Structure 1
Amino acid sequence: MRGMTENLTIGERVAWYRRRRGMSQEALSGLVGRTPDWLGKAENNRIELDRLSVIRRLADALDVSLGDLIGEPTLLDWTPDSGTSTVPALRAALMDYRQLTPLLSVPSSDAEPPSLTELERELRAVFDAYQASRFGFAAGRAPLLLADAILAARQYDGDDQLRANELLAMSYQAAASILTKLGESDLAWMAGERGLAAAQATGNHAIVGSLFRSVAFALQATGRFQPAMQLVEAGAAYLQPHLVDDDGNLQSVYGMLFLAGSMAASRSEDRGTTRSYLQEAQDAANRLGRDGNHLWTAFGPTNVAIHRVNTSMELGDVQVALDVGPDLDTSALPTERQVRHLLDLARAYNSAGRSEAAVATVLDAEQLAPEQVRHHYLSRQLVLGWVRNVHGKPSVELDRLARRMHVVG
């Protein structure tokens, strides 16, 4: 359905699917506990649909996926950075039957695994590109990374095999992170699941915890918020006995696990659990003592604050987000984190009726990471809403932004 609904707002998409289901506004609004008047305004862009808890209820009632309503995935543009082999190549790599078991692999006498140093360098390049919001580059490099990591895990032995499995697990996590960001949630789940299986072969608690986080985000991407929270609880119980021996990796992974949980809890409209998870993450950040990037987590006090803004918006606490967000200095964090915060801040400004500040904030985000702004459902829906609701012609600035994002013709 991507081609038919990509340039619709979420409200317009709800109307499109509702009509396809043959449902009246009265029937759908009743299923989600709202009034027909509320639904009519939402479908006509007079009410913002920006809380995933509400969108998920609509998706469930319409028997479609969360991604169907928020417009994911969107087409990844070809650029000199990405090349012309991106998500489909990554899908093919994940769906290669030979990955299922060595029994199905065809022996090859000339297939030599990369050195572990070379594999580490490849992994770092993909994760660094992801954190720099260069998603096309990361998606293009990830298939080769996975192929090399699988070969290494199968052909090395002893301590080298343990390290190869650690690199394989993190390679799958890199793939899951990229695919989640690009809206390919089913593929992200597959990558996270395989990464967790590889991680369990390592005995490295931090690597296992890191993959727990990946699977939690994949669950969230499909709207499965309660299972994501359950995974966080189980993963935390697994990690807690080992925190005393931490060198930073475990503390960061533990804290990020609770940040993932806070997002799931807020999207389930569970305020108490959201507060509890944020406090657990804050305690971990305090123990760490600074912002860091252990295992590419970008974890520390600032990332906890970013999640306070995000969860406030998911819970509808716009003023809380506006109290915290504008003065938060994220400049030391990776670009991906900075831009994600800016999009939540733009969302808060928009909800408060401060449209000029909202547009300026999206433009700031675009300056940092045009790919991320192009693909994120929040920025796409904000810009589509502004274009739809403007009286007369949109400003030159807004029109150019919408065209750069391909949300208008």
Structure 2
Amino acid sequence: MANAHSEARRIGEEIRRARVLQGRSQTDVAAALGYHQSKLSRLEGGRGTEDIRVLRAVARELGIPPQRLGLAPAQDASATDPEADDMHRRTFLTASIAAIAAPNPPTTSHGHLVRALLPGPGPEGTGSPQDTADLYRRVGAALSLFHTCNYTELERTLPCLIADLRAASTGDRDAVSGLLATAYQTTTSLLLKQHDQGNAWLAVGRAMAEAERSGDPVVLASSVRVQAHVLVREKHTSEAVTLVRHTADQLTGSYDRRSPKYLAAVGLLLLRGMTAASIGGDRAATKEFLTEAKAVSQYVTLDRPDAWATFSPTNVALHELSALVAFGDAGLALQAARPLMRRHIPVPERRAALWVEAARAYSQQGRLADGYQALRIAETCAAQDIRRPDVRHLVADMAARDRRRTLPELHQFSRQLGVPA
């Protein structure tokens, strides 16, 4: 292990030396390669040097003999063929997902929704032919249900939607695979809200398989994002960071020439990496993901409940707040929350998240009354979101700490949620 670290540092120093001798900045070289500046910074620091394709690109750009970076001379098509590079990326992702961790078995049954994820006959669909445009509209409606925290209706909607997507006989199979992957992604997110990691593993496996079939980098990035979310829930934070980091490195850069949907997918992926890093206690990685997410947010604002992805500078600020709470920096978190509390946030899930994170920060400071008030405001934003296990556990913890019962309304709220202290 020590030898590997030493070799990585040596390679990083070779790259740095070649760049400096040419009088070029990290930003200049990274832009020429189509990467973010932080990617080159990591390489020069001895991180990420295991990606042979990236090292070959750096060697070509800086005129470094491949052997000095531990590479054999390029003799095959994969060194210069974009399609081969894309296949390398997909293969890496598939292998990573299969090898990172074995999922726990499903622990909760959701009837029709779970049957829709299993092989073989599942719940019945509408039985009527539907074109791609109608399927696209229905998937968008399901996403809107998630963004507005209407989880009960979403769970009723998804099985029939998945059945119709699986039965679709339209000629545009790539598009249908992308829509089906999105439906599975939404299912994964819903199951994670309910703390059903077992069935979430099943759903995200389906999402990744359909994303691969679609060949769409936006769909692939979104599927990797929910995969990382499942990994974080299973406490595999470092693996989640690695998965997000590798995927994002293939997609970042040239933001001024990307579509809003592409940028939103990349931005949300970076925010998921930021969440994973902060939960894992990695401040450096958290800062890197935050910097890159802010760069993406300069080019796109999708901040509506009916958008396919809700990514904007506001969403970045909300995730920065969550990271501060994860690190236990309650004072800084509340300082970051105050301007957001005065900002219009159109998406109910995001509005509720702001006040829940504020409640966590207040709780960290022992300000239980303020925390309770924040939770009641969150309830007005998204009543169903307050009843998910994460928030119910927070309320139960706050009530348990009020040993003298100076806040009877907090204890009543706890009983209403079914989690008395």
Both structures adopt the same fold (TM-score exceeding 0.5) = yes
Residue ranges of structure 1 left out of the alignment (5+ in a row): 1-64, 76-85, 100-109
Residue in structure 1 matched with residue 161 of structure 2 by the alignment: 145
Q: Contact 1:285–1:299 at 8 Å: present in 2 too?
A: yes
* Aligned-partner Cα distance in 2 for 1:293–1:243: 24
Q: CA deviation at 1:148?
A: 0.8
**Which residue, 106, 110, 113 being the options, matches 1:90?**
113
State which drifts further: 286-295 or 383-392.
Answer: 286-295
Do structure 1's residue 368 and structure 2's residue 391 form an aligned pair?
no
Residue in structure 2 matched with residue 61 of structure 1 by the alignment: none
Do structure 1's residue 156 and structure 2's residue 170 form an aligned pair?
yes
Do structure 1's residue 401 and structure 2's residue 417 form an aligned pair?
no
Deviations 1:93-118 (A, max 9, x none): 1123358xxxxxxxxxx955423233
Residue in structure 1 matched with residue 360 of structure 2 by the alignment: 347
**Which residue, 386, 391, 399 being the options, matches 2:398?**
386
Distance 1:282 1:292, change over 3 A: farther
Q: CA deviation at 1:216?
A: 1.3
Distance 1:210 1:327, change over 3 A: same
RMSD of aligned Cα (Å): 2.8
Do structure 1's residue 305 and structure 2's residue 317 form an aligned pair?
yes
Distance 1:122 1:212, change over 3 A: same
Using CA pairs below 8 Å that are at least 6 residues apart, which structure has the higher relative contact order?
1
Q: CA deviation at 1:120?
A: 2.1
Q: Contact 2:321–2:357 at 8 Å: present in 1 too?
A: yes
Q: CA deviation at 1:273?
A: 0.5
Q: How many residues align?
A: 316
Deviations 1:350-372 (A, max 9, x none): 11122211110001111222211
Residue in structure 1 matched with residue 149 of structure 2 by the alignment: 133
Q: Contact 1:291–1:301 at 8 Å: present in 2 too?
A: no
Residue in structure 2 matched with residue 287 of structure 1 by the alignment: 299
Q: Secondary structure at the match of 2:340?
A: coil
Residue in structure 1 matched with residue 32 of structure 2 by the alignment: none
Residue in structure 2 matched with residue 23 of structure 1 by the alignment: none
Q: CA deviation at 1:245?
A: 3.7
Residue in structure 2 matched with residue 252 of structure 1 by the alignment: 264
Residue ranges of structure 2 left out of the alignment (5+ in a row): 1-101
Residue in structure 2 matched with residue 275 of structure 1 by the alignment: 287
Q: What amino acid is the match of 2:157?
A: R
Q: Contact 2:255–2:299 at 8 Å: present in 1 too?
A: no
Deviations 1:208-264 (A, max 9, x none): 211111211121121111111111112112323675641111111111111100111
Q: Contact 1:168–1:198 at 8 Å: present in 2 too?
A: yes
* Aligned-partner Cα distance in 2 for 1:293–1:385: 31
Q: What amino acid is the match of 1:180?
A: L
* Aligned-partner Cα distance in 2 for 1:234–1:87: 33
Q: What amino acid is the match of 2:365?
A: A
* Aligned-partner Cα distance in 2 for 1:317–1:142: 38
Q: CA deviation at 1:272?
A: 0.5
Q: Secondary structure at the match of 2:177?
A: helix
Q: Contact 1:269–1:315 at 8 Å: present in 2 too?
A: yes
State which drifts further: 242-251 or 173-182.
Answer: 242-251
Q: Contact 1:252–1:294 at 8 Å: present in 2 too?
A: no
**1:57-96, aligned counterparts within 5 Å?**
87-96=110-119
Distance 1:315 1:395, change over 3 A: closer
Identity rate, percent: 26
Q: Secondary structure at the match of 1:336?
A: helix
Q: Secondary structure at the match of 1:296?
A: coil
Distance 1:214 1:113, change over 3 A: farther
Q: TM-score, normalised by structure 2?
A: 0.69
Residue in structure 2 matched with residue 165 of structure 1 by the alignment: 177
Q: Contact 1:249–1:294 at 8 Å: present in 2 too?
A: no
Structure showing greater Rg: 2
Distance 1:396 1:354, change over 3 A: closer
Q: Contact 1:249–1:295 at 8 Å: present in 2 too?
A: no
Q: Contact 1:326–1:345 at 8 Å: present in 2 too?
A: no
* Aligned-partner Cα distance in 1 for 2:198–2:406: 37
Deviations 1:113-156 (A, max 9, x none): 4232332232122111110011111111111111111111xx22
* Aligned-partner Cα distance in 1 for 2:215–2:312: 25
Q: Contact 1:290–1:301 at 8 Å: present in 2 too?
A: no
Q: What amino acid is the match of 2:393?
A: Q
Q: Contact 1:248–1:294 at 8 Å: present in 2 too?
A: no
Q: CA deviation at 1:200?
A: 2.0
Distance 1:353 1:295, change over 3 A: same
**Which residue, 330, 337, 347 being the options, matches 1:334?**
347
Do structure 1's residue 122 and structure 2's residue 135 form an aligned pair?
no
Q: CA deviation at 1:295?
A: 5.8
Distance 1:244 1:331, change over 3 A: closer
**1:202-213, aligned counterparts within 5 Å?**
202-213=214-225
Q: What amino acid is the match of 2:117?
A: L
* Aligned-partner Cα distance in 2 for 1:325–1:119: 38
* Aligned-partner Cα distance in 1 for 2:205–2:253: 24
Distance 1:295 1:237, change over 3 A: farther
User: Following TM superposition, where does structure 1 have runs of at least 4 consecutive aligned residues deviating by more than 6 angstroms?
Assistant: none
Distance 1:91 1:355, change over 3 A: same
* Aligned-partner Cα distance in 2 for 1:289–1:137: 27
Q: Contact 2:256–2:299 at 8 Å: present in 1 too?
A: no
Q: What amino acid is the match of 1:365?
A: A
**1:9-20, aligned counterparts within 5 Å?**
none
* Aligned-partner Cα distance in 2 for 1:290–1:373: 24
* Aligned-partner Cα distance in 2 for 1:312–1:350: 14
